[in-house]
């Protein structure tokens, strides 16, 4: 049984987050509105210290760890980049050593950012799920505390961005949220429900990493054999059962967007707002563009979480033919 997070829970977590990370802005961009025929609000989670909403959950989880397990001196996590930055950022504030396991071929610039925040970086596996398996094994061998990528304690902190958005724009009809392992959309659902808003929440996954879309449709976790999308923040092939339960209860639907749709959305965000978005950061807009007719005339939010993309790849995408 899922126990809903109360507004008191979320307010306490938000207060903790805001001691370190100020509320991020949400702007209604007129050029985007013209493209979609709707009022489009962008929630700029790319403006946090790590360029992603995940820092919020890292802070609340580390605070819990400090209070409940003060003996812990080292944590370990698997990541494609943004979760790892969150772990390193939050752990370093408490003097806790952070080890981060990334798959081979991971984003060079995300790796550099994690190391700059103080993480020990280890490469292992072909993708996130293989890196995760190595992180679990290494935790046992070295006595490190596993730092999860999905947990209710993370969701409490992440929900602070939902509180900010719903209070700034209380009459939102719909919000599009990217799904990696699920903490971002779970936090949005928790905030909406705690504030008793009626906003429809739509998840967005990559067509090449459809595990959550397949699981949502099936009503139970469905894994895939690969998650070969350039949008590494969406590259999940084994869904989290707890996250899926929250999403099935609180989301209206899950959309799949193609690689070309994501790349187009990245170009549009840069052209219309002059914000840089990685693949996962642009996925929500790709979903809204896909449903342009459905949202015409409505008030809509898209979550831009993830501004971390290697320079060469972003230059390649900007130079491509197509709208944006």
**What pLDDT shows up at residue 129?**
83
Query: So what CATH class is 7-53+152-319?
Result: alpha beta
Q: Tens of pLDDT along 93-105?
A: 989 999 999 999 9
**In 196-231, which residue ranges form alpha helices assigned H by DSSP?**
211-218
Q: What is the phi/psi pair of residue 306, to 5°?
A: 120, 95
Has residue 321 got a pLDDT over 80?
A: no
Q: What residues does 121 pair with on adjacent strands? A: 100
pTM here? 0.95
Has residue 226 got a pLDDT over 50?
A: yes
Mean pLDDT of 130-158: 94
Q: What is the mean pLDDT of the chain?
A: 95
Helix-strand-coil split of the chain, %, nearest 5: 50, 15, 35
* Domain chopping of the chain, boundaries: 7-53+152-319, 54-146
Q: Residue 324 — pLDDT band, cuts 50, 70, 90? A: low
**What pLDDT shows up at residue 287?**
98
E strands along the chain, which residues?
26-28, 39-44, 74-78, 97-102, 120-123, 145-146, 174-178, 200-206, 253-257, 299-304
Contact indicator for 52, 306 with CB cutoff of 8 Å: yes
Residue given tokens 């994501």 in the structure block? 262
Residue 186: left (phi > 0), alpha (psi -120 to 50), or beta? alpha
Q: Confirm whether 7-53+152-319 and 54-146 share one CATH topology.
A: yes
Considering the segment(s) 54-146 as one domain, its CATH architecture is 3-Layer(aba) Sandwich (3.40)
Q: What length does the chain have?
A: 324
Mean pLDDT of 67-83: 93
Mean pLDDT of 109-126: 94
Q: Tens of pLDDT along 233-267?
A: 999 999 999 999 999 999 999 999 999 999 999 99
**Rounded Cα–Cα distance for residues 149 and 153 (Å):** 10
Please state, as a whole number, how many other Cβ atoms lie within 10 Å of the Cβ of residue 29.
Answer: 18
Report which secondary-structure segment, H or E, holds 130: helix 128-142
Name every residue whose Cβ is closer than 8 Å to that of residue 319 and which is 6 or more positions away in sequence: none
Contact indicator for 192, 250 with CB cutoff of 8 Å: yes
Q: Cα 262 to the chain's mean position, in Å?
A: 15
Q: Are strands 26-28 and 39-44 parallel, antiparallel or unpaired?
A: antiparallel
Q: Residue 1 — pLDDT band, cuts 50, 70, 90? A: very low
DSSP state of 4: P
**What pLDDT shows up at residue 127?**
87
Mean pLDDT of 17-23: 97
Has residue 4 got a pLDDT over 90?
A: no
**Rounded Cα–Cα distance for residues 121 and 323 (Å):** 38
* Percent share of the chain, pLDDT over 70: 98
Helix, strand, or coil (residue 81) = coil
Mean pLDDT of 309-324: 88
Mean pLDDT of 32-48: 98
Has residue 26 got a pLDDT over 60?
A: yes
**Read out DSSP for 224-272?**
-S----S-GGG--SS--HHHHHHHHHH-SEEEEE-HHHHHHHHHHHHHH
């Amino acid at each position: 049984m899922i126990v809903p997070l109360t507004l008191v829970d979320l307010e306490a977590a938000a207060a903790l987050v805001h001691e370190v990370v100020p509320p991020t802005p949400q702007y209604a961009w007129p050029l985007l509105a013209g493209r979609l025929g709707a009022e489009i609000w962008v929630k700029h989670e790319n403006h946090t210290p790590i360029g992603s909403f995940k820092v919020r959950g890292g802070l609340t989880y580390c605070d819990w760890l400090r209070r409940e397990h003060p003996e812990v001196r080292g944590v370990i996590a698997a990541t494609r980049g943004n979760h790892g930055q969150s772990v390193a950022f939050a752990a370093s504030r408490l003097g806790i050593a952070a080890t981060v396991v990334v798959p081979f071929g991971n984003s060079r610039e995300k790796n550099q950012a994690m190391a700059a925040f103080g993480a020990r970086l280890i490469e292992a596996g072909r993708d996130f799920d293989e890196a995760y398996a190595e992180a679990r094994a290494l935790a046992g061998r070295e006595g490190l505390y596993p730092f999860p990528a999905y947990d209710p304690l993370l969701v409490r902190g992440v929900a602070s961005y939902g509180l900010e958005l719903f209070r700034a724009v209380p009459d939102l009809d719909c919000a599009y949220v990217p799904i990696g392992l699920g903490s971002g959309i779970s936090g949005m659902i928790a905030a909406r429900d705690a504030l008793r808003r009626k906003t429809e929440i739509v998840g967005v996954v990559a067509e090449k990493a459809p595990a959550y879309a397949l699981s949502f449709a099936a009503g139970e976790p469905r894994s895939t054999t690969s998650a070969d999308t350039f949008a590494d923040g969406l590259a999940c092939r084994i869904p989290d059962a707890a996250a899926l339960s929250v999403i099935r209860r609180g989301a209206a639907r899950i959309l799949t967007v193609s690689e070309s749709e994501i790349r187009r959305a990245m170009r549009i965000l840069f052209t219309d707002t002059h914000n840089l978005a990685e693949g996962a950061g642009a996925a929500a807009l790709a979903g809204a563009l896909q449903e342009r007719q459905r949202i015409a005339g409505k008030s809509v939010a898209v979550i831009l979480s993830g501004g971390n993309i290697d320079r060469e790849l972003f230059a390649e995408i900007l130079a491509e033919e197509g709208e944006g």
